[in-house]
Amino acid sequence: MSVSIAVWIVTICSILALITLDLLTASRKPREVKFKEATVWTLFYVGLSIAFGIWVWRYFGSQSGTEFFTAYLVEYSLSIDNLFIFVIILAQFAVPSAFHQRVLLIGVMLALVFRAVFIAIGAAALTAFSFTFLIFGAILIWTGVGLFRHWDEDPEPNDNLLVRTVRSRIALVDEFHESKLFVRIDNKRFATPMFLVIIAIGSTDLLFALDSIPATFGVTSESYLVFTANAFALLGLRALYFLLKGLLDKLIYLSLGLSFILMFIGGKLVLTYFHEINHDIPKISTVVSLIAIGSILLLATVASLVKSKSNPTLHAHAGRVTAPKEDK
């Protein structure tokens, strides 16, 4: 697959235009996004992603199209898991609902920046060193096992090492001042709780980028597809949050399903590495990956809804830490 500079430029400009549209939408008077508006925007971004995937299929061929849709499915599912963390952070810091969409937009932009950096690093590493497949595979298997062990636990944002460091070194006020990060009181500068929220969101985005980029490279080694799959999965994240806010708590087994997906993709990367050394060793095709990932997500979703209906007291958990914790 060969992608011209012109296609890259048009793609990046289009994504920047969509980010600008999101910025303009979120920059209006702070308010809580209603279900109908969230549905329209979610359908818009999903439809745009599908249209882009169809274009990739027709322009670059069926193999590239299948790889994009598989990578997009992986990233979209990980993005939903990302939303669990956002929900916890917003709740733990008691962020007023009117400011949720601004916080989410900042989270999405930070995620795009972090992932763009890791994509460039990952692509260069894969080109230069084939054993990068093995490293990425090991990272995903390790992450998947960790998520499997703690799928029914929630992280504690206040245990975040960066948040604890900020609390100990920067003067803070207890109350929010709209969406301001800093305020001046009696000629002294104070950080607001919103500053801590952004720190927690940013560190979460960084850790998710460390997980998601190897996962996407496990589906396709094409940097263009990795970048666009991540971008399209993240662009609709703000609207998806408001659409699924009530449903997220019912996806009890999503983190458990994601743990199996990460371990599956990690195993695929390990097989890819050994296949490069010995072609007699088989590797998992993209079509098989798409079927496996889709089946796991479908099973996790159906099982979650059935379980939550039979026992309404149960609720979903994020199942991962948001950042390294300080040793005690």
Which residues have CB under 8 Å from 256's CB, separation 6+? Answer: 147, 148, 151, 152, 300, 319
Which pair of tokens denotes residue 214? 């190897």
Which pair of tokens denotes residue 236? 């609709």
Which pair of tokens denotes residue 308? 């939550």
Percent of the chain past pLDDT 70, that is, above it, reads: 84
- Please report the pLDDT score of residue 247 as a whole number: 66
The rounded distance, in Å, linking the Cα atoms of 181 and 170 is 12
Which stretch of 3-7, 162-166, 244-248 has the lowest confidence by average pLDDT? Answer: 244-248
CB 268 within 8 A of CB 289: yes
Phi/psi-derived region of residue 184, left when phi > 0, alpha when psi is between -120 and 50, beta in every other case: beta
- Please report the pLDDT score of residue 167 as a whole number: 75
Per DSSP, helices labelled H in the chain are 5-26, 35-60, 62-92, 100-128, 132-149, 161-169, 193-217, 223-235, 237-244, 254-277, 286-310
The rounded distance, in Å, linking the Cα atoms of 62 and 91 is 43
For residue 31, name the pLDDT band (cuts at 50, 70, 90): low
- Paired with 184 in beta bridges are 189
For residue 68, name the pLDDT band (cuts at 50, 70, 90): very high
- Please report the pLDDT score of residue 328 as a whole number: 41
Angle between helix 193-217 and 161-169 (nearest 10): 160
CB 80 within 8 A of CB 317: no
The DSSP code sequence of 221-255 is --HHHHHHHHHHHHHTHHHHHHHHTTTGGG-TTHH
The rounded distance, in Å, linking the Cα atoms of 124 and 99 is 38
pTM: 0.70
The rounded distance, in Å, linking the Cα atoms of 275 and 41 is 42
- Please report the pLDDT score of residue 155 as a whole number: 58
Q: What is the pLDDT of residues 238-268, one digit of tens each?
A: 777 777 766 666 777 777 887 888 888 888 8
Check pLDDT > 60 for residue 325: no
Mean local confidence (pLDDT), 73-98: 76
Mean pLDDT, the chain, as a whole number? 78
Q: What is the pLDDT of residues 117-148, one digit of tens each?
A: 878 887 777 766 667 778 878 878 887 887 78
Mean local confidence (pLDDT), 38-60: 90
23/181: higher pLDDT? 181
